[in-house]
Amino acid sequence: MRKFVAALAAAAAVTLYPFAAGAQTYPERTITVVVPFAAGGPTDTVTRLIAEAMSKDLGQQVIVENVGGAGGTLGAGRVAKADPDGYTLLLHHIGMATSATLYRKLAYDTLNAFEYVGLVTEVPMTVVGRKDLEPTDLKGLVEYAKANKDTVTVANAGIGAASHLCGMLFMSAIGTPLVTVPYKGTGPAMTDLLGGQVDMMCDQTTNTTKQIQGGTIKAYAVTSPERLDVLPDVPTTTEGGLP
Residue 23 has a pLDDT of 53
Residue 81 has a pLDDT of 92
The candidate with the shortest Cα–Cα distance to 115, out of 90, 97, 81, is 90
Residue 38 has a pLDDT of 83
Q: Break the chain into its structural domains and give their ranges.
A: 12-121, 125-222
Residue 6 has a pLDDT of 39
Amino acid present at 220: Y
What are the distances in angstroms from CA 56 to CA 2, 19, 33, 49, 104?
A: 40, 21, 15, 11, 40
Q: Which CATH architecture has domain 12-121?
A: 3-Layer(aba) Sandwich (3.40)
Residue 17 has a pLDDT of 42
**What is the rounded end-to-end Cα distance, in angstroms, of the chain?**
6
pTM: 0.68
Residue 237 has a pLDDT of 95
Running along the chain, 243 residues long, what does each successive block of 10 average in pLDDT? Answer: 40 42 76 90 87 94 92 88 91 75 80 83 92 97 98 92 90 97 90 98 92 98 95 95 78
Question: Do 125-222 and 12-121 have the same topology in CATH?
Answer: yes
Neighbours of 16 (CB within 10 A): 19
Residue 10 has a pLDDT of 39
Which distant-in-sequence residues (6+ apart) come within 8 Å of 93 by Cβ? Answer: 11, 12, 13, 14, 15, 43, 72, 161, 162
Residue 24 has a pLDDT of 64
CATH code that applies to domain 125-222: 3.40.190.10
